[in-house]
Structure 1
Amino acid sequence: MGYQTEFFNSLTHFSASQWSSLNTSATPFLSHTFLSLLENTGCVGDDTGWQPHHMAVFDGDTLIAVVPGYLKYDSYGEYVFDHGWANAYHQHGLAYYPKWVNAVPFTPVTGPRFLLHPDYDAEQLIHYIAQQMKSLLADAVSSAHVLFPFADTATQLAPQGFLRRYSVQFQWYNYHYQSFDDFLQALTSRKRKGIKKARNQLSQQGVTIERKTGQNISREDIAFFIRCYQATYLKRSGHTGYLNEAFFYQLAEKLSDQLLLVVASTAEGPCASSLLLFDGQALYGRYWGALQEINELHFECCYYQGIEFSIENKLQYFNPGTQGEHKLIRGFEPVYCTSSHYLFEPVFHQAVKDFLHRETHAIAGYFKQATDVLPYNDKAKQQLNVFTISSVGDDITTTRTEN
């Protein structure tokens, strides 16, 4: 193969049409628009801890692959937690940062991570990209990480020595429900009554909910959402969030057709808001904030409204965000997420491999426990897509069957 590999510090080196020719995913997060917004509004670059360092592969003058990548100077905004690895490096007098990550910043959503030319063999290209990562990045960073790729990508990276790590998220699946009440009928009586009671309590307190999409989302709506987002981040984390005002305003301007805004109000006016993105298959819960705390309001704005929207628009699934066992009792099923890691210091690479072997067994146990407490009734469970664990070693082998 006579391919050439280059790294670029900005998406401005790629035209939107070039990018789109490689990006076959419908998800908004891999679009040229979304990733460019992060750069153009200063959410990545400079002192953010995320320095764009995108890999591009050429066959002569033809761009045949792009791997969105970043030099990272901390581990914030990744949602694959490796602070322990960084501490171990530090304790042994080695620098863990910078490292290089192939990821969508601040977005723990599984999807394609290598954008490949459709006329080239994907497996061969991934093999080449993995080799280039190891040979071209080794002198500049401690390690290379591929975060939230599709499972088959992680499988193809494994023969190149990349270590696979597992985590668990919770997603809601649409089993051809016709309404929210239809979904509730699939739950056990106790869980169904609990959700109805929680939603009725909000109504009795005078809370109203409005959903907006596309051009119905005004600049004033976004301004209110930003107030909520920043206030909530400030209260919980001591800062106003990874994403700035310019990002949200431009997101609403450039990707309005893929935005869902949920606004909660009381008699005194708007009090909370959530901002979600969607494509033709799925809804993705991303951002939330509130100016006052009202019991159950977070679940209404971030989960139940999303479920209703997904049913009404016949979306296949709803990814509400990372972490949170509380999603289980609200009908969200556990799903595996993966990441792939290559550490250039051999001793640490082996140490992480040993650690991940132990962690993988713990993750499999956690997944099994989560599956056992799903709130669906016996009849509905016969219709669920069910993950069955067939083996656990360094990797977890599962089968997902539809009854």
Structure 2
Amino acid sequence: MNWWDTDATHDPARQSWVESANGHGQFPIQNLPFGVFSPPGEEPRIGVAIGDAILDLAACARLGLLPPESAEACGKQVLNALMGLDTASRVALRRIISHMLSEEGFRRALDAAVHDAAACTLHLPARVGDYTDFYVGIHHANNIGRQFRPDNPLLPNYKHVPIGYHGRASSIRPSGVPVVRPRGQRKPPEADTPLFGPTTRLDYELELGVWIGAGNALGTPIPIAEAGSHVAGFCLLNDWSARDVQAWEYQPLGPFLAKNFHSTISPWVVTPEALAPFRIGQPPRPEGDPHPLPHLWDEADQAHGALALTLEVWLTTARMREDGLSPQRLSTGPATNMYWTVGQMVAHHASNGCNLNPGDLLGTGTISAPTPDGYGSLMELSSGGKAPLALPGGETRTFLEDGDEVIFTATASAPGRVSIGFGACRASVVPAP
């Protein structure tokens, strides 16, 4: 089975006996994302989001309802073992979960295994061994590059190789955990010497997170034609950035303290199988762009390697909440604003023999549109702080202030299909200690 094939689990007519799932904007039965949750006062365990509820897969395993090849993995407290299953095993597990949640005969047996999601705590879904952040959002690269190199925004290597850097796995947190404003060394233009203190240019970055599934042995590359089978799922990722610290420290080695203080992810892992109906072709490269080298080119990946996702960024301030005002949408745009596919990112990462492991996380880098209504960061929206954004209630922003909350959402849609979502990726900014 190809990772873009559909089956009965995607049937738009399929309904669930979990009534809140039917017509749910995020987690209908056609989605079934994995996560780690804990009911009140209980230990974390693996579950599946279904409407406004969570199905306890550990309980399903104890009842003998899951396939043998996945039952043990579903009994863990993190998703790493489940992510490491082969595609056939993941497909078989998805089919039995969909069957159990759609057949009325399972309602009584699973009654105690279905929990109210609002009463549960969501945790980091996997033990993240390594985190790599890419830079494949070409419009973001152009927008930022123009602020520093107006005549030559992209560096010469950009269209030949997916650019990335190794981030910090230890500071990745699930949605809802506050972001402490980081301190750092910065050198404002008017200062003769560097200063140390809280960042004054805190920013968000709209990204997709890519969870690695079955990995590769050290020294053994992943062929581009097989890269899709090494992806276990997707999430939303906010790679918070201290722009003033970044401007001072990034030369000559690149991002460091400006990026490693906190990264927020949405806690549900939306599987490649759930996204199969929303696979689309990678947008063709503009005429005159270089053709990727053979190890980064596969016709099937080009035909199915992009996703029909709509990404949105929302902002609410402390004053807006006090005044009862709704969050303000800052941008919206498609995930197709990526110059390289996820498969190309994976193949490139392993092309030198680097070993990827189940639960490793890749970030796409900021995904922006070519126009301001789709910019994925305040650095772009405010033109580097020169053009404040107007907010409801008379407030303005160039960068984030304490009390601000940033919310990312994503929706996958296609004609004739039931739309699915990722859940929210949100966090509030709290003052530096």
Question: What TM-score do you get using the length of structure 1 for normalisation?
Answer: 0.26
